[in-house]
Amino acid sequence: MSKRDDILQAALIEFGNHDFDTASVNQIIKEANSSKGNFYHYFHNKEDLYLVLLKEVWQKKAQYMNVPYDNDIFQFLEKQVMSGIHFSKENPEFYQLSRQFAKEPNKDIYQRVLLEIAKETEMSSAKNEINQKITQIKKTNTIREELPEDLVEQYIQFILKHMNEFIGAEENLEVIEKKLGFVIDVLKFGLLG
């Protein structure tokens, strides 16, 4: 592993155990068995390191979650969510970092990270992909025709964006999987039985 990779690995652990404000660059350098010179050779500051780390995690997770679409938006969403769960099980350090990051929605760094990720990844194309799927689904009469496409798309995007709130402080992946299954079920069938 390169010095940069050592720093990223140490940062993964540090940011997974501490919020952005309390994570320590000195601790990252110590755990990476590196120096401040090496740190600043690869990263401008702690925020730059955090952004690089989260972008790399996002890209790895996005590659893992690339599931085929089979004309059922709800199955597609469930497969996406379950792929995310399986990714988390196989990459517990990434999962821990993601959970720690999700606890910071009211901090400036949270919005900056989301903007950076959106700029450098296909996040906006994922939104367009869901919108295209909704259009296809409405043509096959799976979604009520009287519902405006933009409302359905916004609703699904809202649910996906706020999945972490449904999870709450839960850490057990099996319980999370069950909760997210319920979310998809309610999205598909509503609350009435």
Give the pLDDT confidence of 25-34 residue by residue, as tens digits: 999 999 999 9
122, pLDDT greater than 60: no
Average pLDDT rounded to a whole number, residues 156-184? 76
Highest mean pLDDT among 30-34, 59-63, 94-98, 108-112: 30-34
Give the pLDDT confidence of 89-98 residue by residue, as tens digits: 889 899 889 8
> pLDDT grade, residue 121 (50/70/90)?
low
With pLDDT > 70 as the criterion, what percentage of the chain qualifies? 82
Residue 181, φ and ψ in degrees, nearest 5: -60, -40
C-beta of residue 26 within 8 angstroms of C-beta of residue 49: no
CA atoms within 13 A on the CB side of 133: 20
More confidently predicted of 185 and 164: 185
More confidently predicted of 174 and 121: 174
For each of the domains in the chain, give its residue range(s) and CATH number, in order of start. 47-189 (1.10.357)
DSSP 122: S
Element (H, E) at 168: none
End-to-end CA distance of the chain: give it in Å, rounded. 55
> pLDDT grade, residue 132 (50/70/90)?
low
Structure tokens at 40: 């600043």
In this predicted structure, which of 67-76, 119-128, 160-169 has the lowest mean pLDDT?
Answer: 119-128
> pLDDT grade, residue 35 (50/70/90)?
very high
CA atoms within 13 A on the CB side of 85: 20
Look at the alpha carbons of 57, 59, 65, 71 in this order and tell me if their dihedral is positive or negative: positive
> Chain-wide mean pLDDT for the chain?
81
Average pLDDT rounded to a whole number, residues 141-164? 75
Give 47's contacts (C-beta < 8 A, 6+ positions apart). Answer: 20, 109, 112
- Whole-number pLDDT of residue 169: 65
Alpha-carbon distances of 168 from 49, 78, 171, 181, rounded to whole Å: 27, 19, 9, 15
Rounded to two decimals, the pTM is 0.72
C-beta of residue 57 within 8 angstroms of C-beta of residue 9: no
- Whole-number pLDDT of residue 140: 59
Average pLDDT rounded to a whole number, residues 39-59? 92
